[in-house]
Amino acid sequence: MADSRSGARRACAVLLSKDFVSSRKGQLLLGEVASSFISFVCFCASTAAVFVTAPLLAFLTALFLLFAYSTKFNERFKGFQWPLMDFLRCVSASIVFFIISIMAVSRYPDGSSKAAGVFGFIATIVFALDFYFIFNELADFIKGGGTNEEPQNAEDGDLDTDSD
């Protein structure tokens, strides 16, 4: 019995980091996962089922990024532009959720379509908040306020002057 409990604790520790989930980014990703999943379920039950793909893709990508950021999987791939990919994902998801939510609320009369539209609007707000915060972080990084590293060119220039 003790082995099964410790195994479950280790599995939870691998899946989600408590520090990340309590951070602002973790909370936003949890909100994206939840609102996308609820919107997906509502679209599946509605007559507006043609819009089911967008919430499913948003749910899967948000779930992947929640896992990647929580387990620090993203730090293993330095050449991949994680903040830019996350920014583009949030911008496109918020635009798509806004459009399909308007379509679901205005064109389909059943209650589950209306609920899918409402949860789609909630997802739009959560994704928009996320891309707003990502944009601010990227802008600070580009301005140079968020870097603590020295530029690589300065180190290379020092090495070239000593090689005479």
Express each pLDDT in 31-56 by its tens digit: 999 999 999 999 999 998 899 999 99
Query: Which pLDDT belongs to residue 157?
Result: 45
Q: Considering the domain boundaries, does residue 1 fall inside one? A: no
Task: Please give the tally of structural domains in the chain.
Answer: 1
Compute the average pLDDT of residues 4-24.
Answer: 67
Q: Considering the domain boundaries, does residue 128 fall inside one? A: yes
Q: Considering the domain boundaries, does residue 51 fall inside one? A: yes
Find all residues with CB under 8 Å of 16, minimum gap 6, and list them: 66, 67, 70
Is the per-residue pLDDT at 68 higher than 70?
A: yes
pLDDT band at 154 (very low <50, low <70, confident <90, very high): very low
Is the per-residue pLDDT at 148 higher than 70?
A: no
Q: Considering the domain boundaries, does residue 39 fall inside one? A: yes
Query: Which pLDDT belongs to residue 156?
Result: 45
Is the per-residue pLDDT at 111 higher than 80?
A: yes
Q: Considering the domain boundaries, does residue 33 fall inside one? A: yes
Query: Which pLDDT belongs to residue 41?
Result: 95
Asked if 137 and 84 count as a contact pair (C-beta separation under 8 A), the reply is: no
Which of 44-78 are b and which e, b meaning 16 or more Cβ less than 10 Å from the residue's Cβ? Answer: ebbebeebbebbbbbbebbbebbebbbbeebeeee
- pLDDT digits over 116-132, tens only? 999 999 999 999 999 99
What's the rounded Cα separation, in Å, for the pair 144 and 56? Answer: 37
- % of the chain surpassing 70 pLDDT: 79
Q: Considering the domain boundaries, does residue 111 fall inside one? A: yes
In one letter, which amino acid is 20?
Answer: F
Asked if 28 and 34 count as a contact pair (C-beta separation under 8 A), the reply is: no
Q: Considering the domain boundaries, does residue 159 fall inside one? A: no
Q: Considering the domain boundaries, does residue 120 fall inside one? A: yes
Residue 121 belongs to what domain range? 19-69+81-144
Asked if 57 and 100 count as a contact pair (C-beta separation under 8 A), the reply is: no
Average pLDDT value for the chain? 82
Of 153, 125, 156, 149, the residue nearest 32 (C-alpha): 125
Is the per-residue pLDDT at 8 higher than 70?
A: no
